[in-house]
């Protein structure tokens, strides 16, 4: 299919070496300088391929168009990946390690740790494949530089082989997806597409057609600070109150540690505190959007109970909408997922439709008017220093995307 395996690998390794960790503690957009740098590199590479309208806009988003090669009308589709990496683990100074023809077993990392089959059973399906890890001290950044590299190879192949039939294809690389800001400056009119695809998934053959719906709860505890030597009867310790609040959240259910498949959860993940004031951020997640209101009421009731126990304590609960289930919009436009499935069938490969226990730029794009399923691109152990990627599955993602572009061009001739 004209794909250059080594070029795909070389670009992926180049991108992973650029630190693009998102920073949730700033309102700058993008939130880290590395995202600007990677975007500049991608824009230059797209122009070198002959994509004349390639640009990095003033928000740091990278846009480009692969011109149609078919005569007559054909739908425009969009491929998207994000430039940033998760702030949940170190991302700078990544040192990628390439394992050709993985032989099986635990993978030793230079840090002295291992990627163990007992923790990553997917490895058993990847024997003989080419894997990329880090030294075990940082993220690899395959989430989502595997998607970035795959889209860049797709663009390269299509620009090098104009005999391949396809309609107009828009490329978009977004920023700060990991901190919920990936589509903050997404322009639906500029995208100009009938459907989109995020390349931001795991094992081959998966079409993600649902995501969680998500809200963010910020619980602020207002205490009373005095010198501890005279604290008796006067001090109300906001830190203690916040800790008690978190300890009262369920752990045997409604928690990431004890849920799977379609079960939702409450996830406390950030605590900032002093004696006088503390704040806890809690992620509210469920596939059924209406359950988020139920979770919010539960948190507010916990806050009321805490204030009854200590009337001098004040607790504020703020709920912020983050994103909504991708499936709510895809059901209105089934063709996007149907053609992705047909592309796998044309390749003679098995596939499945799945639901992500998380979100994607596609969640927000779909609710803004661009139906956008998520596709496999070979990411594993994301948000962890034991993250790894499978080059063969990245290559398979490019192959799938090539067939998908042809299927969409056929829609214009129906």
Do 158 and 30 fall within a single domain? yes
Do 199 and 226 fall within a single domain? no
* Closest-CA residue to 81 (of 193, 199, 175): 199
Do 343 and 295 fall within a single domain? no
- The single residue listed with the structure tokens 């505190």 is 273
Give the tokens for residue 342: 């047909």
pLDDT digits 0-9 by tens, 146-193: 999 999 999 999 999 999 999 999 999 999 999 989 999 999 999 999
pLDDT given at position 73: 87
Residue that finishes a domain, picked among 277, 305, 323: 323
C-alpha span between 119 and 109 (Å, rounded)? 15
Phi, psi torsion values for 373, nearest 5 degrees: -65, 165
177 is catalytic: yes
Domain limits for position 68 = 5-211+325-411
**pLDDT tens digits for the chain (414 residues)?**
689 999 999 999 999 999 999 998 899 999 999 999 999 999 999 999 999 999 999 999 999 999 999 988 899 999 999 999 999 999 999 999 999 999 999 999 999 999 999 999 999 999 999 999 999 999 999 999 999 999 999 999 999 999 999 999 999 999 999 998 999 999 999 999 999 999 999 999 999 999 999 999 999 999 999 999 999 999 999 999 999 999 999 999 999 999 999 999 999 999 999 999 999 999 999 999 999 999 999 999 999 999 999 999 999 999 999 999 999 999 999 999 999 999 999 999 999 999 999 888 999 999 999 999 999 999 999 999 999 999 999 999 999 999 999 999 998 654
Give the tokens for residue 25: 């503690």
* DSSP H or E stretch at residue 359: none
Taking a C-beta distance cutoff of 8 angstroms, is the pair 242, 161 a contact?
Answer: no
Do 290 and 331 fall within a single domain? no
Do 223 and 199 fall within a single domain? no
Do 140 and 21 fall within a single domain? yes
Do 98 and 186 fall within a single domain? yes
pTM over the 0.75 mark:
yes
Assign residue 247 the CATH number of its domain.
3.30.70.360
CB neighbours (10 Å) of residue 281?
17
Give the tokens for residue 166: 């396809």
pLDDT given at position 413: 54
Do 185 and 73 fall within a single domain? yes
Residue that finishes a domain, picked among 264, 299, 323: 323
b (16+ CB within 10 A) / e for 366-389: bbeebbbbbbbbbbbbbebbbbbb
Select which of 153, 176, 177, 210 is catalytic: 177
135 is catalytic: no
CB neighbours (10 Å) of residue 355?
16
Phi, psi torsion values for 136, nearest 5 degrees: 90, 5
Residue 67: half-sphere exposure toward Cβ, Cα within 13 Å: 11
Whole-angstrom Cα Rg for the chain: 23
Task: Name every residue whose Cβ is closer than 8 Å to that of residue 227 and which is 6 or more positions away in sequence.
Answer: none
* Closest-CA residue to 152 (of 11, 259, 282, 48): 11
Do 207 and 263 fall within a single domain? no
Number of domains in the chain: 2
Do 112 and 239 fall within a single domain? no
Do 143 and 104 fall within a single domain? yes
Calculate the CA dihedral of residues 381, 383, 385, 387 and round it to 10 degrees. Answer: 30
Do 290 and 332 fall within a single domain? no
C-alpha span between 390 and 282 (Å, rounded)? 33
pLDDT given at position 414: 44
In the chain, % helix, strand, coil (3-state, to 5) comes to: 35, 25, 40
| pLDDT more than 70, % of the chain | 99
Strand partners, 133: 97
Assign residue 150 the CATH number of its domain.
3.40.630.10
Give the tokens for residue 281: 């951020």
Residue that finishes a domain, picked among 283, 299, 323: 323
Strands 114-115 and 107-108 come out as: antiparallel
């Amino acid at each position: 299919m004209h794909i250059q395996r080594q070029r795909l690998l070389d670009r992926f390794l180049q991108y992973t070496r650029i630190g693009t960790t998102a920073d949730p503690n700033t309102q700058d957009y993008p939130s880290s300088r590395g995202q600007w740098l990677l975007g500049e590199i991608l824009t230059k590479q797209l122009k070198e391929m002959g994509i004349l309208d390639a640009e990095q806009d003033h928000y740091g988003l990278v846009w480009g168009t692969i011109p149609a090669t078919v005569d007559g009308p054909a739908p425009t589709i969009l491929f998207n990946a994000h430039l940033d990496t998760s702030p949940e683990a170190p991302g700078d100074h990544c040192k990628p390690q390439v394992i050709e023809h993985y032989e099986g077993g635990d993978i030793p990392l230079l840090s002295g740790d291992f990627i163990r089959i007992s923790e990553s059973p997917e490895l058993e399906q990847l024997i003989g494949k080419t894997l990329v890890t880090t030294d075990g001290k940082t993220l690899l950044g395959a989430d989502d530089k595997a998607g970035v590299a795959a889209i860049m190879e797709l663009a390269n192949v299509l620009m090098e082989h104009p005999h391949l039939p396809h309609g107009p294809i828009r490329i978009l690389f977004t920023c700060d997806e990991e901190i919920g800001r990936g589509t903050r400056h997404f322009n639906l009119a500029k995208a100009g597409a009938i459907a989109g695809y995020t390349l931001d998934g795991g094992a081959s053959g998966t079409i993600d057609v649902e995501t969680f719906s998500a809200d963010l709860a910020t619980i602020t505890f207002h205490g009373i600070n005095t010198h501890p030597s005279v604290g008796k009867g006067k001090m109300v310790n906001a830190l203690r109150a916040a800790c008690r609040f978190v300890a009262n959240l369920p752990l045997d259910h409604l928690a990431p540690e004890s849920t799977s498949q379609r079960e939702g959860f409450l996830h406390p993940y950030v605590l900032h505190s002093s004696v006088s004031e503390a704040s806890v951020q809690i992620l509210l997640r469920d596939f059924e959007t209406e359950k988020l209101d139920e979770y919010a009421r539960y948190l507010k009731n916990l806050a009321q109970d805490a204030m009854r126990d200590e009337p001098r304590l004040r607790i504020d609960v703020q709920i912020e909408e983050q994103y909504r289930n991708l499936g709510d919009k895809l059901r209105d436009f089934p063709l996007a997922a149907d053609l992705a499935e047909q592309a796998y069938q044309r390749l003679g490969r098995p596939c499945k439709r799945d639901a992500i226990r998380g979100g994607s730029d596609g969640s927000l794009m779909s609710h803004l008017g661009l139906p956008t399923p998520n596709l496999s691109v070979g990411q594993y152990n994301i948000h962890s220093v034991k993250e790894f990627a499978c080059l063969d599955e990245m290559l398979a993602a490019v192959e799938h995307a090539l067939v998908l572009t042809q299927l969409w061009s056929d829609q214009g001739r129906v």
